[in-house]
Copies of this chain bind each other. A is one copy, B any other.
Amino acid sequence: MNILFKALNDRTRREILEMLKEGDLTAGDIADKFNISKPSISHHLDLLRQANLVTSSKQGQFIYYSINTTVIDEILTWLLQFNNHSKTK
């Protein structure tokens, strides 16, 4: 839970997730979209992976990143505890 909120607490990382929502991308593809150095993006990807929000798979010299939405349900569940009153109608 901690590491999840930590991973989401950065605009760049949230944007990366939004990009990956549309489809898998290589680390280089992702880095190209930002005005940030590749090592920094690599670090962001590492944090997202630690939080299990993304997975990576090496294909040749490229590393493809994919979003993992199952973990997002954890946060959704945590957040839903706060609207459990009249939300069910």
Q: List residues of A whose CB falls within 8 A of some B CB.
A: 1-2, 5-6, 8-9, 11, 14, 17-18, 21, 67, 69, 72-73, 75-76, 78-83
CA distance A85 to B76 in the complex (A): 16
Q: Knowing that A21-B81, A69-B83 are A-B contacts, what are 19 other residue pairs whose CB atoms are under 8 Å apart, sorted by A's residue number?
A: A1-B14, A2-B11, A5-B5, A5-B9, A5-B14, A6-B9, A8-B9, A14-B78, A17-B82, A18-B81, A67-B82, A69-B82, A72-B79, A72-B83, A76-B76, A76-B79, A76-B80, A76-B83, A79-B79
Chain B residues lying within 8 Å of A18, measured Cβ to Cβ, are 81
Chain B residues lying within 8 Å of A1, measured Cβ to Cβ, are 14
